[in-house]
Chain A
Amino acid sequence: MSKLYETTIIVKPDLGNDQVKDLLISINNFFAENSVSVGYQEDWGIKNLKFTIRKYSKGSFKFFRFESGSDFPKKLDIFLKYNTDCLRYLISKSSQKIDEITPQINKAN
Chain B
Amino acid sequence: MMKKNNEFTQEDFIKLDYKNTHLLKRFINENGKIIPQRVLNTTRAGQTKLAKAIKQARFLSLI
**Chains A and B belong together in one complex:** yes
- A-B contacts, CB under 8 A, total: 35
Size category of the B interface is 10 to 19
Q: Would you call B22 an interface residue if the criterion is a C-beta within 8 Å of the partner chain's C-beta atoms?
A: yes
Q: Would you call A74 an interface residue if the criterion is a C-beta within 8 Å of the partner chain's C-beta atoms?
A: no
- Looking at chain A's contact residues, the main secondary structure is strand
- Looking at chain B's contact residues, the main secondary structure is loop
* A88 vs B61: C-alpha distance when bound (angstroms): 10
Q: Would you call A92 an interface residue if the criterion is a C-beta within 8 Å of the partner chain's C-beta atoms?
A: yes
| B56 touches which of A10, A90, A96 (Cβ 8 Å) | A90
A50 touching B62, Cβ below 8 Å: yes
B60 touching A90, Cβ below 8 Å: yes
A8 touching B22, Cβ below 8 Å: no
Q: Would you call A49 an interface residue if the criterion is a C-beta within 8 Å of the partner chain's C-beta atoms?
A: yes
Size category of the A interface is 10 to 19
Q: Would you call B35 an interface residue if the criterion is a C-beta within 8 Å of the partner chain's C-beta atoms?
A: no
Interface residues of B (CB under 8 A from A): 17-23, 56, 58-63
Interface residues of A (CB under 8 A from B): 8, 10, 47, 49-51, 53, 59, 63, 88, 90, 92, 95-96, 102-104, 107
Q: Can you list 22 residue pairs at the A/B interface with Cβ under 8 Å? A: A8-B60, A10-B60, A10-B61, A47-B62, A49-B61, A50-B58, A50-B62, A50-B63, A59-B61, A88-B59, A88-B60, A88-B61, A90-B18, A90-B59, A90-B60, A92-B18, A96-B17, A102-B19, A103-B19, A103-B23, A104-B21, A107-B21
